[in-house]
Amino acid sequence: MIKLYDFLPCPFGQKVRIVLAEKSLSYELVPVDLLGGDQRKPEFLRLNPYRKVPVLLDEETIVYDSTIINEYLDDEYPDPPLLPSIESSALRARARLFEDFADTSFTLQVGQLMAESAKPEGERDPTRIARLRQTVEKVLDYLNHELSGQQFLAVEFSVADVGFAPRLLVLKELGIEAGTGRPNVDGWVKRLLERPSIQNLQGVTLEPLAGV
Ligand SMILES: N[C@@H](CCC(=O)N[C@@H](CS)C(=O)NCC(=O)O)C(=O)O
């Protein structure tokens, strides 16, 4: 039985839960209370010395970091595949580049915007909010360009799309209309929302891990 150590609002854990659902893999969810400091307990540090969720335990195999977990799941449970075929190295690289780009240039920035927007009015920094909003809008413009003529970022649905899904789901609540003026993003988001793995994702909320 697979175990997933996770904190439901974590967007990186959400990436892994989308992949587990896409592959119809059953698993036990082991909650890690990040707000209560569970990640610093010795028993958790034995699983992940970096003190972060998600961590996947598959029999004897321990894997951490959402990107590496999702690649492990695709290697170990290849059906349905969530990376382009092994013959298409260039397309596999494109999927990996977009997954990395989602983590480093979108998810974190949306998280910062969530954190800043959640502050009481007097403590909020409107300049920072405007800057973060502009960054997110620029990423959406770029995605709109890259999605031209294709349904998903690497032709078929893949880990690249999974990488963006968790934070795409909160944009509306932050007042950002991803699809407005971006027809390719609009179609893409609609296609993502048709997938039960994304529709039924738990923990999609602006609170309480607003800063991550
Ligand atoms: N690169 C990691 C990032 C994981 C991460 O940042 N997890 C956050 C929660 S969303 C965490 O566990 N934070 C705990 C801490 O920093 O104390 C991944 O993709 O899994």
Name the amino acid, one letter, at 189. V
pLDDT for position 64: 98
Task: Tell me if residue 10 is catalytic.
Answer: yes
Q: Whose CA is nearest to atom 12 of ligand 1?
A: 52
| Radius of gyration over every alpha carbon of the chain, rounded to an integer in angstroms | 17
Residue 90, H or E segment: helix 89-102
Q: Which of 4, 10, 34, 56 is catalytic?
A: 10
- Answer yes or no: is pLDDT of 120 > 60: yes
- Answer yes or no: is pLDDT of 212 > 60: no
Is the bond into 54 cis (omega within 30 degrees of 0)? yes
15 Cβ closer than 6 Å to some ligand 1 atom: no
What pLDDT band is residue 187 in, cutting at 50, 70 and 90?
very high
- The whole-angstrom separation of Cα 198 and Cα 206 is 17
The pLDDT of 2-12, averaged and rounded, is 97
- The whole-angstrom separation of Cα 120 and Cα 114 is 12
What pLDDT band is residue 72 in, cutting at 50, 70 and 90?
very high
- The whole-angstrom separation of Cα 99 and Cα 139 is 13
What pLDDT band is residue 209 in, cutting at 50, 70 and 90?
low
Does the model's pTM come out above 0.85? yes
